[in-house]
A and B are shown apart, each in its own frame.
Chain A
Amino acid sequence: SQQGEEDPQALSIQEGENATMNCSYKTSINNLQWYRQNSGRGLVHLILIRSNEREKHSGRLRVTLDTSKKSSSLLITASRAADTASYFCATRPLTGGGNKLTFGTGTQLKVEL
C-alpha cells in the first residue's frame, strides 16, 4: 500500500518559476527520499533527508522534513522545461524493513516554455 501521498497530483508552471511538491506519510521513518521519473523511464534518486534533519539542499533542489507533521516538501527553484517529470517521495521505515522503501503516489510536474 502507498504510505506517501503527494500533493498536488499535477502541477503546471512556467519556466523560471518555482515548483513545490508536498508529501505526507503515516509511520515513523529512518529517512525520506525524493525520486524523479521521466515518461517511460525508471526512477532516478534526487535527494535523501534523514529523520534528524530538517532541511537539505542540492543544486536547485531544497527538501524540508517535518517529522512532527509527518510531511516533507520538495522545492525546485528556477524551473526548466527539462524538469518536466513525475516526482515521488519514498520513505524508509524506522524499524524493520531493511532498505525497503514505500513510494508515494507522485506529482506530475509540467514546466512550460
Chain B
Amino acid sequence: DARVTQTPRHKVTEMGQEVTMRCQPILGHNTVFWYRQTMMQGLELLAYFRNRAPLDDSGMPKDRFSAEMPDATLATLKIQPSEPRDSAVYFCASGLGPGTSGAEQFFGPGTRLTVL
C-alpha cells in the first residue's frame, strides 16, 4: 500500500530552535510539494520539486525556511530559527508530472508543529 510518510507527526519546540520535517514520497513519484495549513490562511504551497530540483519556492519565507531533496526518497523542510507564527500543520504531497494524467497529489498525514 503505497503512501507518503512524514516524520515527526507532532513536534513541540521553543522559539529559536531549529525544526526539521521529513517526507518520503511514494516510490516512483517525481514531484514533491510542501504545504502549510492554518486556520487563518488555509492551505498554502511552500515549495514544489520535480525530479529533485526546486521549481517553485515562492511561497516560502526565505530567511528562515529551506527545502531540499537529498535524494529521490527523501524531502526535508527546515525552519531555522522557528517562531510561534510557524505553528501549523505541514503537509508533504507527491505525484507524477508533468502532464494532466499525473495531476493528482497524494498527501502525507502531516506534521503538527507547535512553537512555544
Seen from chain A, the residues whose Cβ lies within 8 Å of a Cβ on chain B are: 2, 30-31, 33, 35, 41-45, 48, 50, 88, 92, 97-106
Contacts and interface: CB of A to CB of B under 8 A. Distances in A.
Interface of B: 4, 31, 33, 35, 42-43, 45, 48, 50, 55-56, 91, 93, 95, 97-100, 102-110
> Interface residues of A: mostly helix, strand, loop or mixed?
strand
A98 B100 contact: no
B22 to A, nearest CB: 15
> Interface residues of B: mostly helix, strand, loop or mixed?
strand
Nearest to A6: B42
A78 to B, nearest CB: 25
Contacts of B45: 100-102
B42 A45 contact: no
Given A43-B107, A98-B50, A50 B100 contact: yes
Given A2-B42, A98-B98, A92 B103 contact: yes
A10 B102 CA distance: 31
Contacts of A42: 4, 91, 93, 107-110
B106 A105 contact: no
Nearest to B104: A45
A88 B35 CA distance: 14
Given A45-B105, A98-B55, A106 B91 contact: no
A104 B91 CA distance: 16
Contacts of A35: 107
A31 B103 CA distance: 9
Given A42-B91, A48-B104, A98 B42 contact: no
